Amino acid sequence: MKLIIDTDPGIDDAMAIAYAAAAPEIDLIGLTTVFGNTHVHQSSRNARFLLDKLGLAAPVAEGASYALGQSHHTPSEHVHGPEGFGDITEIPEIGTNHDLSAAEFLVETARRHKGEVVVCAVGPLTNIALAMQLDPEFSRNISRLVVMGGAVYCPGNVNHHAEANIYHDARAADIVFATPPETVLVGLDVTLKTLYETADFEALAERSRDMGGFLRDISRFYLKFYKEVGGLEGCGLHDSTAVIACTHEPMFDMVETGLSVVTEGPEFGATRPDPSRPSVRVCRNVDGAGVVHLFTERVASLP
């Protein structure tokens, strides 16, 4: 499977990119970057750093700095740290970004490999909305869109209503869901059932000294947030669960519904079932232990 991950790395994004590199079914043909956990230039630097560490030559195409119609963004430093990798703040600039913007790269690559490319969006959906606006054929040219985002039948993580990726660009998400490509939504409804704990990171680092050790090191900040703010003994494998949904759909129970996103007022960023809109497949349950095991076994195979 040809896969492009649209990402705001970000600690769980880094875990998902490592998983994609280790998964034998996945040909990671590019990363497109977006603001979110980080400023977009940090997302791009972190993406290039990860690909270099993983020994992958895939391009990194930089995307949106801000939500549609906005000219400012405050990264989630309290969750992912000042540079997006928790306590690790010295991250070198390795290589350069692709000449195309994220939206242009998504459109061009989908056009070149019609029907073959799965796009897994694990940050705000700004680049996806821009690609749809840039090329009306984009949605038909990709195989499908898998989105880490939303909290359809459960509370959000930004507030009771909203999940972070949708909240960071509610307008872009609503544009995407208004005329969606074939889409699978992997929201908090399932990603909070795939918690990864300190012991899991330590065991992973024993088996994968370099990459597993790096993920263990950057996760400490993230685990501390989940414990102190979320009262949880582990962190959600949010983005890795979405990447796993690209290749292991039988591990998920899905329902079909249209979706709309609240774009103003006190419930801003909420993702709501909307029967008036084209259906997407929303994950309602998951084999959480199976996802955690699959993630561990694959990433443990890395150096």
When asked if residue 163 is in the footprint of ligand RIB (CB under 6 A), the reply is yes
When asked if residue 164 is in the footprint of ligand RIB (CB under 6 A), the reply is yes
When asked if residue 59 is in the footprint of Ca ion (CB under 5 A), the reply is no
Q: Is 8 an annotated catalytic residue?
A: yes
Please choose which of Ca ion, ligand RIB, none residue 157 contacts, taking the beta carbon within 5 to 8 angstroms, the exact cut-off set by kind: ligand RIB
Annotated active-site residue in 6, 8, 13, 239: 8
Sign, CA dihedral 121-126-131-132, equals positive
Where in 221-250 is the site for Ca ion (CB under 5 A)? 239
**CA gap 258, 72 in Å, rounded:** 30
Question: Which residue lies nearer to ligand RIB by CB, 138 or 226?
Answer: 226
- The CA–CA distances, whole Å, from 266 to 106, 157, 203 equal 33, 15, 42
Question: Which residue lies nearer to Ca ion by CB, 8 or 163?
Answer: 8
Q: How many residues sit close enough to Ca ion to count as binding (CB under 5 A)?
A: 6
When asked if residue 122 is in the footprint of Ca ion (CB under 5 A), the reply is yes
When asked if residue 238 is in the footprint of ligand RIB (CB under 6 A), the reply is yes
Please choose which of ligand RIB, Ca ion, none residue 163 contacts, taking the beta carbon within 5 to 8 angstroms, the exact cut-off set by kind: ligand RIB
- Radius of gyration for the chain, computed over Cα atoms and rounded to the nearest angstrom: 17
Question: Which residue lies nearer to ligand RIB by CB, 13 or 135?
Answer: 13
Could you tell me whether strands 195-197 and 234-236 are parallel, antiparallel, or unpaired per DSSP bridges? antiparallel
Q: Is 52 an annotated catalytic residue?
A: no
When asked if residue 75 is in the footprint of ligand RIB (CB under 6 A), the reply is no
Decide: 251 and 291 in contact? Cβ < 8 Å.
yes
The 3 state secondary structure assigned to 65-81 is CCCCCCCCCCCCHHHHC
Q: Hey, what long-range contacts does 106-114 have (CB within 8 A, 24 or more apart)?
A: 106/4, 106/6, 106/32, 106/61, 106/131, 106/138, 107/131, 107/134, 107/135, 107/138, 107/141, 109/4, 109/29, 109/30, 110/135, 110/138, 110/141, 110/142, 111/135, 111/137, 111/141, 113/2, 113/29, 114/141
Kindly tell me which residue out of 33, 165, 194, 241 binds ligand RIB, with binding defined by CB under 6 A: 165
Kindly tell me which residue out of 4, 6, 11, 13 binds Ca ion, with binding defined by CB under 5 A: 13
Could you list the residues that contact ligand RIB (CB under 6 A)?
8, 10, 12-13, 36-37, 122-123, 148, 157, 163-165, 238-239
Could you list the residues that contact Ca ion (CB under 5 A)?
8, 10, 13, 122-123, 239
By annotation, the residues acting in catalysis are 8, 238
